[in-house]
């Protein structure tokens, strides 16, 4: 039954389908009359429908007489409470909230939410900072100086090879900054003083100084230092333990030196020896004179005459009973200069060293033994040669040092075993020295000789001193 009473419509059901014969259209729980812009099949704007949740996020039910709505998983979020700024944050008219990420200056909030506008919020992470002590409120995002750190794919931070040092400080010199991440640390041994061990600094270099030892009258810890020990009297084992072995030296040294600061040598070839070497002059077709030259007192000059057979020899008077190669370590040195270089006119042979006879100015003569420098202009392009001859053969080594007319120190050293002869000019060992074969073992005479071979012009050489040292092992 249906009708109106007191302006109220009453009926058991409704039908807005527009069909010819009305029928009940509301028959299940939760059905609703829903308006529609478009006309339905019956030409009306009212349809029968239900509430639905297209994405399934809302559960729709019926509890008589009500329709129930329940957000799945909990309650529907309608706002966000912030730690700072605008709070709460609500969706805008489209149901959206803008959620940003941001870094902020160092402070005391490592991570926090901030309402930056009515519908906008940010998750803020602060930047790290340098502090004096641990503080969890001041941690933050960091990056690392690639010159001093490495960071792997897992964010693990390590010190790089250049290290983290900033300065290093010694006893003096103040704080030293590294250069390109590096300090130089050197060792040194300064002269004896009152600082056994100390460090000194300059630039990026720290030097550890350990002073050299010194002789004292009494104990003093400030004057200790590095030492080495005379092997004639002491032994030192692998642990640095020093033992005294006696007061008799196991080696002895004999040194002879003649600077010619005395009377003019015998000019008459009388064979009378003079000076600490017992020197004697042998001259054929030549003259000898004595003079003083600046920085070279006591210079003896030999001048060889123009005839091709002329020669001049200065030889040591040490006879064959003297020290020989293989018995003692020997050093021979003569300071001399050539006043005229060998050429086509005059051409001569020059020998400086030691050989076993004074009868020939040419130590390469038959049967001679010798160890000496040798020069002439048309052999080895006028560069000095080194020669050892022992009667069974001759070893010749060519240097790259050219003869000239300056003063030079010609030195030969032979080891005690007689297995190596080293040749030096002005304390610089010549190229292709030493010679190790055909070194004679007979006693040698220290000599200097010039032999004319061609040309009519005279030639001369000067000698400043003779020096010889003999070191014996007893």
Q: What is the pLDDT of residue 346?
A: 85
Q: What is the pLDDT of residue 270?
A: 47
Q: What is the pLDDT of residue 322?
A: 45
| Rg of the Cα atoms in the chain | 56
Q: What is the pLDDT of residue 30?
A: 85
CATH class for the domain made up of 255-473: mainly beta
Q: What is the pLDDT of residue 359?
A: 60
Render pLDDT for 20-66 as a digit per residue (tens, 0 to 9).
788 888 889 888 889 899 988 888 888 888 989 888 878 888 888 89
Q: What is the pLDDT of residue 411?
A: 96
Q: DSSP labels for 246-297?
A: -SS-SEEEEEEEE---SSPPPSS-----BTTTTBEEEEESEEEEEEEETTEE
Task: Output the CA torsion 186→189→192→195 (10° steps).
Answer: 30
Cα distances (Å, whole numbers) of residue 6 to 3, 9, 328: 10, 9, 153
Domain segments of the chain: what residues? 1-51, 176-227, 255-473
- CA atoms lying within 13 Å on the CB side of residue 338: 27
> In the block, which residue shows the tokens 């009473």?
5
Which residues of the chain have a pLDDT value below 50?
267-272, 319-322
Whole-prediction pTM: 0.49
Q: Cα–Cα distance between 458 and 342 in angstroms, integer?
A: 11
């Amino acid at each position: 039954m249906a009708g109106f009473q007191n302006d109220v419509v009453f009926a058991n059901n409704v039908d807005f389908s527009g069909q010819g014969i009305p029928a009940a259209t509301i028959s299940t729980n939760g059905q609703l009359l829903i308006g529609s812009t478009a006309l339905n099949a019956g030409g009306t704007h009212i349809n029968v429908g239900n509430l639905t949740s297209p994405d399934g996020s809302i559960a729709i039910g019926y509890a008589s007489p009500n329709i129930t709505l329940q957000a799945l998983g909990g309650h529907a979020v309608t706002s966000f409470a912030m730690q700072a700024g605008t709070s709460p944050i609500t969706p805008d008219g489209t149901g959206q909230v803008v959620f940003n990420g941001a870094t902020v200056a160092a402070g005391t909030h490592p991570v926090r939410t901030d309402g930056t506008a009515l519908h906008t919020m940010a998750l803020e992470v602060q930047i790290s900072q340098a502090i004096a002590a641990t503080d969890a409120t001041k941690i933050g995002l960091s990056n690392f100086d690639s010159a001093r750190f490495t960071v792997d794919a897992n964010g693990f931070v390590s010190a790089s090879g250049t290290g983290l040092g900033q300065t290093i400080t010694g006893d003096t010199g103040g704080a030293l900054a590294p250069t390109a991440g590096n300090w130089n640390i050197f060792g040194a041994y300064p002269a004896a003083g009152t600082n056994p061990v100390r460090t000194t600094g300059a630039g990026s270099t720290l030097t550890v100084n350990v002073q050299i030892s010194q002789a004292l009258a009494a104990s003093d810890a400030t004057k200790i230092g590095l030492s080495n020990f005379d092997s004639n009297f002491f032994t030192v084992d692998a642990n640095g333990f020093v033992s005294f072995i006696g007061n008799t030296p196991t080696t002895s040294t004999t040194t002879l030196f003649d600077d010619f600061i005395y009377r003019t040598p015998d000019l008459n070839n009388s064979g009378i020896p003079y000076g600490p070497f017992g020197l004697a002059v042998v001259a054929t077709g030549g003259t000898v004179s004595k003079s003083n030259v600046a920085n070279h007192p006591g210079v003896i000059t030999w001048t060889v005459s123009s005839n091709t057979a002329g020669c001049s020899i200065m030889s040591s008077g040490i006879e064959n009973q003297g020290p020989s190669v293989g018995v003692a370590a020997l050093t021979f040195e003569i300071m001399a200069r050539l006043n005229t270089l060998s050429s086509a006119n005059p051409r001569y042979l020059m020998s400086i060293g030691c050989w076993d006879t004074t009868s020939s100015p040419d130590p390469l003569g038959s049967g001679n033994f010798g160890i000496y420098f040798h020069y002439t202009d048309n052999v080895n392009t006028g560069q000095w040669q080194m020669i050892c001859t022992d009667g069974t053969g001759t070893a010749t080594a060519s240097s790259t040092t050219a003869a000239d007319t300056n003063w030079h120190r010609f030195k030969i050293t032979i080891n005690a075993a007689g297995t190596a002869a080293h040749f030096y000019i002005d304390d610089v060992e010549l190229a292709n020295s030493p010679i190790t074969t055909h070194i004679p073992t007979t006693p040698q005479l220290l000599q200097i000789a010039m032999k004319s071979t061609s040309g009519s012009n005279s030639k001369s050489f000067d000698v400043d001193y003779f020096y010889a040292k003999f070191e014996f092992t007893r």
